[in-house]
Amino acid sequence: MWGTRMIVGEAGGACDGPEGDAILWTMANRLYLLRKERFQDRRGVTLWPPHRYTHLIRAYAQPINPYFLDPRHESDPDRLRRRWRVTTLPPRGEWRGVPIESAIRRVVRFMQGGTPNQYVGLVHFGQGGVEEFVAEHGTPETMPFLARNWFWKSGATRGWTSRTLNPAAPVDPGIGLALPLVVGAGLVGAYLALRHVTGSSWLGLGAVLPFVPP
């Protein structure tokens, strides 16, 4: 739901369209960019890798950022009320004419790898303060303004291609563990057999070691 709340809060009525996809992919790109780095959110809390997508988007997107739900940091009561509505958005109903269920389906499709990454290298987006943002972060490349937001690349991502970040895809969680287990079991079996034949633990181990992956 946090992905849905993010695109609803950042794109409004345009969330169930290209702008919603652009926001989701921009945050995925940013997650990849920061995959080995630690950073602080606006509350001063240090976030350590590996980062989770939910933690990243809540630290970046103002409508769902806990920092901006505090009246001490948001003086506009209407904006504060709207942000509280976004962060407590139920999985049914409408937001500015968009069925929430439709926005949820868009996020699910993205998470399952069904949304092509047409936004390679984009790691920032925002609605206002473009000049200040560019002054602070350098002169990034921009993509055309969509319905409500501008999107930027950073100096570190200008050379990215479609191969840099593969689209998210559902992965069988057993594959990553099954292969090492099968290989390991095979090596153990080979070692025991060689030890039985040679009568020496060291000879059996020496025969198996060349086949152990680094």
How far apart, in whole angstroms, are the C-alpha atoms of residue 134 and residue 198? 70
Mark whether 11 and 86 lie in a shared domain.
yes
| Count of domains forming the chain | 2
pLDDT at site 57: 94
Mark whether 185 and 103 lie in a shared domain.
no
How far apart, in whole angstroms, are the C-alpha atoms of residue 111 and residue 122? 18
The structure tokens 């992965």 sit at: 171
Q: Is the pLDDT score of 188 beyond 60? A: no
Question: For residue 152, what is the DSSP state?
Answer: E
Q: Within 13 Å of residue 201, how many CA atoms lie on the same side as its CB?
A: 0
> How do beta strands 122-126 and 150-153 pair?
antiparallel
Span 153-173, pLDDT tens digits: 887 887 888 777 654 433 333
Mark whether 125 and 206 lie in a shared domain.
no
Span 52-109, pLDDT tens digits: 999 999 999 999 999 988 888 888 889 889 889 899 888 888 888 888 999 999 999 9
Span 109-131, pLDDT tens digits: 999 999 998 898 889 888 766 66
How far apart, in whole angstroms, are the C-alpha atoms of residue 10 and residue 7? 5
Residue 168 lies in a domain: no
pLDDT at site 22: 93
Q: Helix, strand, or coil here: 91?
A: coil
Q: Is the pLDDT score of 8 beyond 60? A: yes
Span 16-33, pLDDT tens digits: 899 999 999 999 999 999
Q: Helix, strand, or coil here: 99?
A: strand
pLDDT at site 54: 92
Mark whether 111 and 45 lie in a shared domain.
yes
Q: Is 166 exposed, middle or buried (0-12, 13-18, 19+ CB in 10 A)?
A: exposed
Mark whether 136 and 185 lie in a shared domain.
no
Residue 127 lies in a domain: yes
Q: Are 123 and 152 in contact (CB under 8 A)?
A: yes
The dihedral through the CA atoms of 51, 57, 58, 62 has a sign that is positive
Q: What is the mean pLDDT of the chain?
A: 76
Mark whether 149 and 190 lie in a shared domain.
no
Give me the domain span that covers residue 123: 2-153
